[in-house]
């Protein structure tokens, strides 16, 4: 992967997007004007000394001392590095290398002459006189940004198959949307948790930012009663809280998730955790008990996967290990990575006029947990003696003012995903279950008070339930692959 750059933000957004895929490319990153500034050397990857690409980019300071645009110098540098790779790896291994050049420029070229001859040499090196069979081994993408662009000159420098390779933008504001166009959805649509990030989160972009979000309704007589949120975990299943659909027949449950084939989906089956029983601890004075408050809704028809609709990643699956780039294929390694700190920053969503808005919270784990859960005392008959029976180890606690002021869940947030983003992939670690007090004066993003707390079901604690449904074979849906251990 070779990146030639002018604006720093373009490079950072490109690397972030590429890093969300399961493959791990090698990078050459160059900034250029009339001279070259090498930020990341692709040869370091061959020497098994891979640099921290993100840190290198953050450390680089763009100078303004040079003017002019020497594109030929950029392509000559790329050609040189490709030649070194060919020598170092050998011809047969080089044949298996796929080369993708992504070049951002705010001008054409006014120095160094036309790069056309250099591009022709690159093509000859990769195609090896076998154009028909090897033309997909080289892609040259060019982004022309600004007013002083000569489209015809730049378009001739592109290469590759499978869609557009030249993109035009007047500024950087729509760069992320433009960059999205060059991603082949057929190749990545099976990746859980993949989503888009935009600097300005307009309402029409929210489905791409949170493609797994779903809204749960129950039908009362002829009207729909908005109850909860949920998360798409496979094309056929939505994960939510059991109390959201408890007592409702499948035909009375409606799921809102617009995949382009209709906004509302019918439920085929609803499956709550077998241990969910809100009155299970009533004999101990706990009026409402929300442990195992988790349910799966099977859709009558699977959703159409796209950039707008895509499953979130859930714990202890092979897909999630791939998303996290984990070599150690264990459930424990996933949990240690995602919930490793005693104060772990997490998010969940709330339904608003903008479709959804994001809430920021901190999970109080380890030594911080007891001080958080003790705020449940007095709620629904919970006493000091029954506290840990009501708020079991299956719950993650958030809320309060210390050390940061968290947002708090409001009516309608229940069942929604509590998630963490990892390199452009979203992993659901919990779901919103219940809270100790309602401090919401209106819908939307609300801040916690000193004593308000939320309790979320930790999905790592209910993996056997998820696996019993989602990994079941010989069904009319494709099973998820869970880790053996």
Using pLDDT thresholds of 50, 70 and 90, give the confidence band for residue 6.
very low
- Provide the β-strand partners of residue 428: 419
pLDDT digits (tens, 9 = 90+) for 277-313: 999 999 999 999 999 999 999 999 999 998 899 999 9
Residue 209 structure tokens: 């930012």
Average pLDDT along the chain: 87
For range 206-210, the mean pLDDT: 93
How far apart, in whole angstroms, are the C-alpha atoms of residue 79 and residue 76?
5
**Residue 262 reports pLDDT greater than 70:** yes
How far apart, in whole angstroms, are the C-alpha atoms of residue 244 and residue 252?
12
Using pLDDT thresholds of 50, 70 and 90, give the confidence band for residue 164.
confident
In the block, tokens 């590095």 appear at 81
The most confident of the ranges 17-21, 329-333, 358-362, 475-479 is 358-362
pLDDT of residue 414: 96
Greater confidence (398 vs 35) lies with: 398
Q: Are 252 and 302 in contact (CB under 8 A)?
A: no
The CATH architecture annotation of domain 2-183 reads 3-Layer(aba) Sandwich (3.40)
**Residue 10 reports pLDDT greater than 60:** no
Q: Is the pTM of this model over 0.85?
A: no
Using pLDDT thresholds of 50, 70 and 90, give the confidence band for residue 13.
low
For 204-218, 222-236, 385-399, which range has the lowest pLDDT when averaged over its residues? 222-236
Q: State the distance between the two ends of the chain, measured CA to CA, in whole angstroms.
A: 35
For range 52-75, the mean pLDDT: 74
Using pLDDT thresholds of 50, 70 and 90, give the confidence band for residue 272.
very high
pLDDT of residue 210: 96
Using pLDDT thresholds of 50, 70 and 90, give the confidence band for residue 162.
confident
pLDDT of residue 336: 94
Greater confidence (431 vs 306) lies with: 431
Q: Counting Cβ atoms within 10 Å, is residue 347 exposed (0-12), middle (13-18) or buried (19+)? A: middle
The total number of residues shown for the chain amounts to: 485
For range 257-285, the mean pLDDT: 95
Q: Counting Cβ atoms within 10 Å, is residue 125 exposed (0-12), middle (13-18) or buried (19+)? A: middle
**Residue 335 reports pLDDT greater than 80:** yes
Assigned CATH for 213-468: 2.40.10.120
For 67-71, 295-299, 353-357, 434-438, which range has the lowest pLDDT when averaged over its residues? 67-71
Greater confidence (148 vs 314) lies with: 314
How far apart, in whole angstroms, are the C-alpha atoms of residue 247 and residue 254?
14
How far apart, in whole angstroms, are the C-alpha atoms of residue 3 and residue 332?
36
pLDDT of residue 5: 44
How far apart, in whole angstroms, are the C-alpha atoms of residue 302 and residue 9?
37
How far apart, in whole angstroms, are the C-alpha atoms of residue 482 and residue 479?
9
Q: Closest Cα to residue 236, out of 472, 462, 470?
A: 470
Domain edges within the chain: 2-183, 213-468
DSSP string, 104-167: EESS--SSS--SHHHHHHHHHHHHTT-HHHHTTSEEEEEEEESS---HHHHHTT-B-SSS--EE
% of the chain at pLDDT higher than 90: 58
Residue 426 phi/psi, 5° resolution?
-105, 125
In the block, tokens 């890093």 appear at 19
For range 46-74, the mean pLDDT: 74
Q: Closest Cα to residue 347, out of 334, 335, 338, 355?
A: 338
> What CA dihedral angle connects 195, 201, 205 and 207, to 10 degrees?
50
pLDDT of residue 20: 58
**Which ranges of 189-230 would DSSP assign to H, the alpha helix?**
206-209
Q: Are 290 and 380 in contact (CB under 8 A)?
A: no
pLDDT digits (tens, 9 = 90+) for 243-259: 999 989 999 999 999 99
Residue 109 structure tokens: 């070229």
């Amino acid at each position: 992967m070779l990146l030639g750059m002018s604006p720093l933000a373009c490079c950072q957004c490109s690397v972030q997007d590429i890093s969300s895929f399961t493959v791990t490319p090698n990078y050459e990153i160059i900034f250029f004007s009339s001279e070259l500034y090498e930020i990341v050397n692709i040869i370091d990857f061959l020497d098994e000394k891979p640099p921290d690409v993100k840190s290198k980019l953050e450390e680089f300071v763009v100078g303004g001392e040079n003017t002019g645009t020497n594109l030929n110098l950029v392509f000559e540098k790329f050609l040189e590095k490709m030649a070194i790779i060919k020598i170092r790896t050998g011809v047969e291994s080089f044949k298996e290398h796929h080369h993708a050049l992504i070049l951002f420029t705010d001008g054409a070229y006014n120095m160094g002459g036309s790069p056309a001859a250099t591009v022709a040499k690159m093509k000859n090196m990769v195609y090896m006189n076998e154009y028909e069979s090897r033309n997909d081994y080289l892609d040259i993408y060019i982004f022309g940004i600004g007013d002083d662009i000569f489209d015809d000159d730049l378009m001739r420098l592109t290469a590759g198959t499978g869609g557009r390779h030249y993109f035009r933008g007047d500024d950087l504001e729509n760069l992320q949307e433009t960059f999205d166009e060059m991603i082949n959805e057929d190749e990545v649509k099976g990746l859980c948790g993949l989503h888009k990030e935009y600097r300005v989160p307009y309402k029409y972009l929210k489905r791409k930012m949170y493609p797994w979000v779903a809204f749960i309704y129950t039908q009362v007589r002829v009207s729909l009663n908005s109850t909860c949120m949920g998360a798409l975990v496979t094309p056929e299943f939505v994960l939510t809280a059991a109390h959201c659909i408890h007592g409702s027949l499948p035909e009375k449950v409606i799921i809102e998730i617009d995949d382009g084939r209709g906004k509302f989906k019918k439920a085929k089956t609803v499956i709550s955790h077998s241990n969910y029983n809100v009155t299970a601890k009533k004999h101990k004075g706990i009026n409402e008990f929300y442990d195992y408050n988790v349910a799966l809704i099977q859709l009558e028809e699977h959703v159409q996967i796209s950039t707008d609709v895509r499953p979130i990643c859930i714990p202890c699956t092979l897909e999630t290990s791939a998303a996290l780039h984990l070599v150690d294929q264990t459930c424990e390694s996933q949990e240690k990575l995602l919930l490793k700190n005693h104060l772990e920053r997490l998010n969940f969503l709330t339904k608003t006029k903008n479709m959804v808005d994001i809430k920021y919270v901190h999970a109080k784990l380890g030594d911080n947990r007891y001080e958080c859960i003790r705020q449940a005392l007095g709620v629904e008959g919970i006493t000091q003696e029954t506290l840990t029976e009501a708020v079991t180890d299956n719950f993650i606690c958030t809320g309060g003012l210390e050390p940061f002021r968290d947002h708090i869940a409001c009516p309608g947030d229940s069942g929604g995903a509590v998630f963490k983003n990892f390199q452009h992939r979203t992993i659901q670690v919990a779901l919103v279950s219940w809270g100790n007090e309602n401090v919401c004066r209106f819908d939307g993003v609300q801040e916690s008070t000193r004593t308000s707390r939320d309790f979320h079901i930790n999905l790592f604690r209910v993996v056997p339930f998820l696996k019993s449904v989602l990994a079941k074979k010989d069904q009319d849906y494709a099973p998820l692959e869970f880790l053996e251990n």
